[in-house]
A and B are shown apart, each in its own frame.
Chain A
């Protein structure tokens, strides 16, 4: 590509993959009605990232991803535990875990930043994302994990659909709900941890939520929604990264999110299924039909009345 270094091409490729994976998982989370869970879990990943760094003493991606996954999972378990063992509701439990884990992350981060030579560790980039800081090795790790996720989504698509829309029926057919819950949580955490380096812990949730909501405006079919959401996610990943690469050292995350938000606005107005314009036309047509029925409809109505 013109004007882009080899590294930038790698970075673009990785945000494309990441956006695609997040779009798919985001659709699942949308139908599980757990959009904000992804927000809580991505914030909860921060202490793990820093601890992963502390253990190795350098920026070694596999350790940090492992730490992030572990601390996000602990966060998820805590949320579940608070909700089931006390009278605190789920939204408050998410708020508590989100803020307390993030606070712990900031606490640890300030300790690390005080250590000699850690100023250049680039740990701060995990907060807002700095895709440009990635190297080819990081991209390979991301690629591997994203492919694993794609595999899980495609291979068990039928099971996902059942599990999301009718868990009781799925259980009746012999699909273990406990296993599906486990796989769902595992995949959600996976997509969060591969995304936090590019998008940052704060805005990672956006990449899971916005493409799915946008795709909802175009189709009523679950399969198409997954595909569209993946495309929207991948598209915003690429556009956001390009914008941030052309600006000098701007954080990647916010630009990816803004691209996704623009796609959302387009979907909201132009969407073929529930978009504002389509809805307005339908409403207008129905109102006219009610006030001044066409002769054919009038005949049909009269026939109905006499029958």
Chain B
């Protein structure tokens, strides 16, 4: 496959994974929690690196799950201590992120890990870092990892679809039906962390937020069905990846930055053109009907 093909494939995998998880994030009103987790995952990766002294997929995944769960638990705990929800998210993720950055700046320094990379991703180099598959053909490491994570996401979301649907829309009903709401919440947090860390290499810590929230928000404007919304937001993620890549090629600029920008453009189009909730629809069909 060509260089551009691999990059678009990587970013599309990010788009699909993030679209699936992002739809649930949006409906559970956890958009800023996603932002928090995408920052604290950095600390998880750095810690995993400092302990094992290597950057391998499985260590990064475990580190990120621990960091994500820790963020969620700390936020929950501070909130229970009487701090506002928003403020406790703010305190926890900025502190943990700062620790991560300081560890990189002082301890890791010259390694494969640097701050620039973690923030903006290194999608440009992804096609060259290959692993050999048993079939005899090499694919980029990031593509392999993203495919695995996408499969995990699909399996868990299909397996827990109706449980999450009910806990997202009506947590009280879910609790009264005897569903383990908190456990489901933490499983979901783990899924968000895994998706974030797998997408991390491709788009970086902050731009992964763009892929998580913006396509889901665009899809939310086009449909009222959760399953359609998930599919649609995955599709929008892929479209943003392709569109963003060509903007980047045209301007010779940062690929991940262009992709984040592209999600914003698609969102803007959605908010204007959406058939039910769009601005145009509102002008054409007066509110009285």
**What residue in chain A is nearest B83 (Cβ atoms)?**
A213
Task: Scan B231-262; emit 1 where CB is below 8 A from any A CB, else 0.
Answer: 00000000000000001100111101111110
Q: Of B91, B102, B216, B258, which contacts A264 at CB under 8 A?
A: B91
Q: Mark B87-98, 1 if CB is under 8 A from A, else 0.
A: 111110011011
Query: Residues 196-216 of chain A: 1 if any B CB is under 8 Å from the residue's CB, otherwise 0?
Result: 000000110110011011001
How many angstroms from the CA of A257 to the CA of B39 in the assembled complex? 14
**A110 in contact with B210 (CB, 8 Å):** no
A241 to chain B, nearest CB (A): 14
Contacts of B212 in A (CB 8 A): 95
Q: Is the CB of B87 within 8 A of A30?
A: yes
> A96 and B214 in contact (CB under 8 A), knowing A103-B264, A111-B251, A274-B82?
yes
The answer to whether A136 has its CB under 8 Å from any CB of chain B is: no
Contact of B261 among A36, A104, A212, A264 (CB under 8 A): A104
Chain A neighbourhood of B82, CB < 8 A: 274
Q: Which residues of B250-289 have CB atoms within 8 Å of chain A's CB atoms?
A: 251-254, 256-261, 263-264, 267, 271, 274, 277, 279
Residues on A with beta carbons closer than 8 Å to the beta carbon of B264: 96, 100-101, 103-104
User: Would you call A94 an interface residue if the criterion is a C-beta within 8 Å of the partner chain's C-beta atoms?
Assistant: yes
A137 interface contact, C-beta 8 A:
no
Minimal Cβ-Cβ distance residue in A for B221: A86
Contacts of A202 in B (CB 8 A): 39, 97, 119, 206
CB proximity of A5 to chain B, nearest CB, Å: 21
Q: Are A107 and B251 in contact (CB under 8 A)?
A: yes
A183-191, A245-253, A287-295 - the one binding chain B: A245-253
Contact yes or no, B210 A99, CB < 8 A? yes
* A103 pairs with B260, CB closer than 8 A: yes
Chain A CB within 8 A of B86 CB: yes
Interface string of B79-114 (1 = CB under 8 A from A): 001111011111100110111011001100000000
CA distance A253 to B101 in the complex (A): 9
Would you call B26 an interface residue if the criterion is a C-beta within 8 Å of the partner chain's C-beta atoms? yes
Per-residue CB proximity of A28-71 to B under 8 Å, as 1/0?
00100111101100010000000000000000000000000000
Mark each residue of chain A from 107 to 123: 1 if its CB lies under 8 Å from any CB of chain B, else 0.
Answer: 11111001000000000
Q: A95 to chain B: which residues have CB within 8 Å?
A: 31-32, 34-35, 209, 212-214
- The count of chain A contact residues (Cβ–Cβ below 8 Å) is 61
Which chain B positions have C-beta within 8 A of A306?
Answer: none
B8 CB within 8 Å of chain A = no
User: Does residue B229 face the partner (Cβ distance < 8 Å to A)?
Assistant: no
What residue in chain B is nearest A251 (Cβ atoms)? B105
**In the complex, per-residue mask of A237-274: 1 if CB is within 8 Å of any chain B CB, else 0:** 00000000001001101110110110010001000001
- The CA-CA distance from A274 to B31 in the complex, in Å, is 29
B281 to chain A, nearest CB (A): 11
- Is A166 in the interface zone, CB < 8 Å from B? no
Does A89 count as interface, using CB distance less than 8 angstroms?
yes
Number of A-B contacts (CB under 8 A): 197
* Chain A 77-114 near chain B by CB (<8 Å), digits 1 or 0: 00000100111110111111011111111111111001
Q: Which of A30, A95, A261 has the most CB of B within 10 A?
A: A95
Interface: B188 (CB within 8 A):
no
C-alpha gap A13/B89 in the complex (Å): 30
A128 at interface, CB cutoff 8 A: yes
A297 → chain B, closest Cβ, in Å? Answer: 27
- Most chain A CB within 10 A, of B26, B94, B209, B254, is at B94
- Cα distance A192–B247 in the bound complex, in angstroms: 30
Contacts of A92 in B (CB 8 A): 26, 29, 31, 213, 216-217
Listed by A's residue number, 30 A-B pairs whose Cβ atoms lie within 8 Å are: A35-B84, A43-B206, A92-B216, A93-B217, A96-B214, A99-B35, A100-B260, A100-B263, A102-B207, A102-B260, A103-B264, A104-B257, A106-B257, A107-B251, A107-B261, A111-B252, A202-B206, A203-B97, A206-B94, A209-B91, A209-B94, A210-B95, A213-B91, A247-B106, A250-B105, A253-B101, A254-B99, A260-B95, A264-B91, A268-B81
Known: A89-B29, A210-B94. 16 other contacts (CB 8 A): A95-B34, A95-B213, A95-B214, A99-B210, A99-B263, A102-B206, A103-B256, A103-B260, A111-B252, A247-B106, A258-B102, A261-B94, A261-B95, A261-B98, A264-B91, A264-B95
Query: Which A residues are closer than 8 A to B by beta carbons?
Result: 30, 33-36, 38-39, 43, 82, 85-89, 91-96, 98-111, 114, 124, 127-128, 202-203, 205-206, 209-210, 212-213, 216, 247, 250-251, 253-255, 257-258, 260-261, 264, 268, 274, 276
